[in-house]
Amino acid sequence: MTEFRNDPADESLLADEGPAIEVTGLTSAFGDHVVHEDLDLVVERGEIMGIVGGSGTGKSVLLNTIIGLRRPQAGTIKVFGQELDRASRRHWSELEQSWGVLFQGGALFSNLTVRENVAAPMFEHTRMSRREAYELADLKIAMVGLRPEAAGLKPAELSGGMKKRAGLARALALDPELLFLDEPTSGLDPIGAAAFDELIKDLADSLDLTVFMITHDLDSLYAITDRVAVLADRHVVATATVHELERSDHPWIREYFLGPRGRTAREARMGEDA
């Protein structure tokens, strides 16, 4: 059993070894509609884990359950060794600071500038002065490849790609160890999507991040993931590298990875590696 440090009060309560995420026996349902049943998943520290599955397999439900936005019907979830159902208020505060989330579309506050959006988690979770928070926010904005002048813009003034980068800067505001991404390249053109993939990979490597990434983008799976978890039949039916999944005999996996789009993504990646 993991033992958490709790003395002195300012020491971390989260385990510094073991998996980043452990999901065991998870059941998620909406009324009589069961989305997940006895689902298991382990995400190791430092890996980029892709999450794929057909429509209705509960990819976003799984993400929202792991970060505590919805309560499962059964099962346990541990993040950095801390079981969510047993987390105290102090545990939750530390957990929320240990992860960052990029929701679809960026989910920026429409009435705040980019700088104010990125600084918002700092105001909520730290005692930084406004000047310190804004200076750090500007650093995060630069880190994701946005120009300095973007800091003063409102979300309505940003392109789709800029909104995603601004949302990513906010997700990184508190220097998290774990990054959740929900369809990060959706809506981007191929060049923009490839650039965003490269950015995620570079940040994961330089910041030693663990990444949990929901995506339908086969190019992203081939380009940056270490492993991919496949949701089907209410379970995680496979967790493996994309090349191992190409050899799977599961019908949905074969159709997804060996169909026309999968072949195109694989050939493009092979061409880059040649």
Question: Which 3 state secondary structure label does DSSP give 162?
Answer: helix
**Tokens of residue 73, six digits:** 């019907």
pLDDT confidence of residue 266: 58
Residue span of the structural domain in which 198 resides? 21-273
Q: How many residues does the chain have?
A: 274
Q: Angle at Cα 74 formed by Cα 69 and Cα 76, nearest 5°?
A: 70
Residue with tokens 């989305």: 35
**170-203 burial string, b = 16+ CB within 10 Å, else e?**
bbbbbebbbbbbbbbbeebeeebbbbbbebbbeb
| In a domain? residue 3 | no
**Phi/psi of residue 188, nearest 5 degrees:** -95, 150
Per DSSP, 97 falls in state H
Strand partners, 99: 178
Q: CA distances (Å), 46 to each of 15, 66, 205, 223, in order?
A: 15, 17, 8, 16
How many domains is the chain built from? 1
What crossing angle do the helices spanning 160-171 and 130-143 adopt, rounded to 10°?
130
pLDDT value of position 181: 97
Tell me, yes or no, whether 2 lies in a domain: no
Q: Answer yes or no: is 10 within a domain.
A: no
Say what the pTM is.
0.89
Residue 6 falls inside a structural domain = no
Specify if 13 maps to a domain. Answer: no
Distance of alpha carbon 84 from alpha carbon 176, whole angstroms = 17
DSSP assignment of 192-211 equals HHHHHHHHHHHHHHHHT-EE
Q: What is the pLDDT of residue 260?
A: 65
What residues of the chain score a pLDDT lower than 70?
A: 1-12, 260-274
Name the helix (H) or strand (E) containing 102.
strand 99-102
- DSSP strand pairing (235-240 vs 82-83): unpaired
Q: What is the pLDDT of residue 6?
A: 41
Q: Give residue 136's pLDDT.
A: 97
Does residue 11 belong to any structural domain of this protein? Answer: no
Q: Give the integer Cα–Cα distance in Å for 199 and 203.
A: 6
Residue 94 forms part of a structural domain: yes
Residue 7 in any domain: the answer is no
Distance, CA of 269 to CA of 254 (rounded, Å): 18
CATH number at residue 145: 3.40.50.300
Summary count for the chain: helices (H), strands (E): 10, 10
